[in-house]
Amino acid sequence: MSKVAPPYTLFFSISDSKQRAEVRHTNAADFTSAWQTLTADIHQAVWQAKMNPCWLRIDWVNRRSSTTLANLYEILSNTKPGYFRYGLALDQDCKIAFLEQELNGNAMLYEGNCIDHAVLNKRNFKSYCQRRFGDQVELDFADERNVVLLSTEGLFCESHKEPVYLSGAGPNTGRRIINNLNAKLITQLIENASSYLGRQLTSSGHFHSGWYPCFDLEIEGHNNLRHASCAHAMIETWEVSKDPALQAVIERALNVLTSDLIQTIPLKTGETAAFLVESNSEIKLGGNALSLLALVKYSEAMGVRAYADLMEQLAKGIEFMQNQASGQFCHVLDYPSLNIKKQRLAIQFDTEAAFGLIRLYSWDKNPRWLTMVEKALEYFIATEQWRTHDHRLSYCLNELTKYRPKEKYYQLGIRNFANHLGFVENCKTTFPALLELMMSAEKMISHLHSQGLFQELLDQVNLEHFYRVLAKRADHLLNGYFWPEFAMFFKNPEKITGGFFIRHKGFRLRADEVEQYLSGLIAYRNFLLDQTLQKPACIDNPPQTEKANHIDNIMFSTP
């Protein structure tokens, strides 16, 4: 922790996990005065809110930078939404000041998905400012107004747990310091995120689409395709935890998928095909693919054959959508006519379909599916599909090369990531699909190395750089996790804690995006275990300081 000189600006944020944190701050010439003032203020806030607190966050300002609102507007215009990583004071004395987490949790610098940069949202700013400071504050957004950018460090305390220090400046700002991202810690995150997904399953067996957590608003509309992908993620997680409660959730989700969302249709060939049908009567190629992936994964994990016929029918549905001459897929059909509605919609549908088919082949060894996959791969090679850097292509190739270890398939897999490492390394967003890409690439690299196959292909990859990027990308995913020290600033903390969010989309929690985080972390955990790198769990906390010694008195005594 950096040394802080007076005057001291100190924040206390406290929450019972059920409501948005109450935040108080003060400025003082000495630390003791600041601490005593805030202790009294936070007790009063707890009493007024009728709160039984379980989370306390303490932040102190360690750097200040004065500027004008005009300059702040310019900074925001060049900053992705959610990526302004400073607190903000509206006066030189920091009497009206906000933590970065307050700004984000109340959408004070966010104007919606249609604007690709941060914006000072005057409506939300005024609303939260009034809540925090009352009616006496008059906000002036004139360009010439002087403001102060605040960098902070912090400490987070949770009932019956050791305090953890929070990172200062940089991409990890405001979250707990993790010195060792090991398999045990990743397992905890996986189980927590799976629990979050499980809570999204309604009594009807359908998933909530997701949430905009700033104001606890549900994402409108239901997407059956995402239902299938969430089920797949929970089955992957069950393989980690073997949790009976999670299995029960999986059974409910699959029952809805197979009984309500998937429809069978007789084809002119005399065979019966199955299709995942959306609420608008669209059949999407990706829906069939993800349903197939979920059911194959379930069949393998549980050792059952209950869905064997339905999986075959889903594969026949994919076959119906493939041009048998070119290998290309169409993407959207109308239900129940099966007329083509859209030839192309989403590039990932192609690779999802091929991956679903090769996974089914791995399970039932029907050569019909393998033939379809190889036709698709010829199309992918001809159209240079590697330029999309799609992790699903790598997944497909890793499975296909078990049965067809051809150099052209390995070459396609290497090209899919080799010239993309710079982007993966420097991408500021968490972009969970990138870890999936890296983990599937690592699997191919390991296979080529261990089997002694096509070693010249490995010369196309700087392996030292690759593994450095892999570790960095896995660590960066922690910045998309709703740690309690983040969640406490949003409207309904206990609902979102343990989920994964997309920062530049208003901290959106969408079920299929949580699934992508889970898949990447599960693969990374398996990688760590395979490499025998697991060490004792370690979230290193520096010894308690004078600041931490007062915590129990604040949290667990009454005002």
Written as tens digits, the pLDDT of the chain (559 aa) is 566 767 899 999 999 999 999 999 999 999 999 999 999 988 888 888 888 999 999 999 999 999 999 999 999 999 999 999 999 999 999 999 999 999 999 999 999 988 999 999 999 999 999 999 988 787 889 999 999 999 999 999 998 899 999 999 889 999 999 999 999 999 999 999 999 999 999 988 999 989 999 999 999 877 899 999 999 999 999 999 999 999 999 999 999 999 999 999 999 999 999 999 999 999 999 999 999 999 999 999 999 999 999 999 999 999 999 999 999 999 999 999 999 999 999 989 999 999 999 999 999 999 999 999 999 999 999 999 999 999 999 999 999 999 999 999 999 999 999 999 999 999 999 999 999 999 999 999 999 999 898 999 999 999 999 999 999 999 999 999 999 999 999 999 999 999 999 999 999 999 889 999 999 999 999 999 998 644 434 334 333 333 333 333 333 332 2
Say if residues 389 and 440 touch (Cβ distance below 8 Å): no
Report the run of H or E that residue 157 belongs to, with start and end: strand 146-158
- Looking at residue 227, its pLDDT comes to 94
Strand partners, 439: none
Report the run of H or E that residue 127 belongs to, with start and end: helix 122-133
User: 22-28 and 87-89: which strand pairing?
Assistant: unpaired
Say if residues 143 and 68 touch (Cβ distance below 8 Å): yes
Q: How many CA atoms lie within 13 A of 48 on its CB side?
A: 11
Say if residues 407 and 385 touch (Cβ distance below 8 Å): no
Residue 365, burial from CB neighbour count under 10 angstroms (0-12, 13-18, 19+):
exposed
* Cα separation values, 196 from 101, 147, 226, Å: 21, 39, 15
- Looking at residue 2, its pLDDT comes to 66
HEC string of 291-352 equals: HHHHHHHHHHHHCCCCCHHHHHHHHHHHHHCECCCCCCECCEEECCCCCEEECCCCCHHHHH
Q: How many CA atoms lie within 13 A of 208 on its CB side?
A: 21
Cα–Cα distance for residue pair 537/326, rounded to 1 Å:
51
Cα–Cα distance for residue pair 34/150, rounded to 1 Å:
17
pTM, two decimals, is 0.92
Cα–Cα distance for residue pair 397/377, rounded to 1 Å:
9
CB neighbourhood size of 145 (10 A):
15
* Cα separation values, 474 from 181, 186, 235, 316, 366, Å: 8, 10, 21, 37, 36
- Looking at residue 307, its pLDDT comes to 98
- Looking at residue 503, its pLDDT comes to 97
| Torsion-angle region of 389 (φ positive above 0: left; ψ -120 to 50: alpha; else: beta) | left
Size of the chain in residues: 559
Cα–Cα distance for residue pair 165/66, rounded to 1 Å:
26
Our measurement of the distance from residue 523's CA atom to the centroid of its chain's CA atoms, rounded to an integer in Å, reads 15
Question: ∠ CA(272), CA(274), CA(276), 5° rounding?
Answer: 165
- Looking at residue 222, its pLDDT comes to 78
